[in-house]
Amino acid sequence: MPAQSDVSVSCVKENVWVFGYGSLIWKPNFKYEKVLPGHIEGVSRKFWQGSRDHRGTSEKPGRVATLVEDPQGTVCGLGFELSPEEADATFTYLDDRETGYKLKEVVFCPSDPSQSIQKVLVYTATESNPDFLGPSASRSWQNVLQPVWDNPVQTRSTCSTWPI
């Protein structure tokens, strides 16, 4: 099931921004004009989305990051500026990569105050998604996140920053 959208990204005529808060931070795999560190508000990052293809199997989905509504929450990440020429190909790629996620528009606040605040598009899973797992009863990173990373140091480091 490709990503769903509350916003239209077809026929983009000007630059558009995408917010990355999980694997897009270190593995975007698309062309972009500019990248800025910053944050979005009103959400928290959680490993509550199941993945049967990128991070798990049909029998045992792996956990991947998503965003959940949280009025007190702030999530740091990267804003990627896309050119109109690259937008269609990028969203086709991301819709497939972010299977089961929903695309929505939010406000992005760059870390550098000299940069202007932008509206960005962000992929997030909701409880209506059949692969939405919600919180885990397990606090063991190995049980919760494997096979996310083969490197346990990277797993512990990431998890200490991004609470489940």
* Beta strand spans in 9-161 (E): 16-20, 34-51, 62-82, 102-110, 118-124
Q: Catalytic annotation on 41? A: no
Give the amino acid at 121: L
Identified catalytic residue from 86, 98, 105, 127: 98
What long-range pairs does 146-153 form, CB within 8 A, spacing at least 24? Answer: 146/62, 147/55, 147/56, 147/62, 148/55, 148/62, 148/63, 148/64
Residue whose structure tokens are 């692969």: 131
CB distance 129 to 49 below 8 Å: yes
In contact, 56 and 33? CB cutoff 8 Å: no
Q: Which residues are catalytic?
A: 98
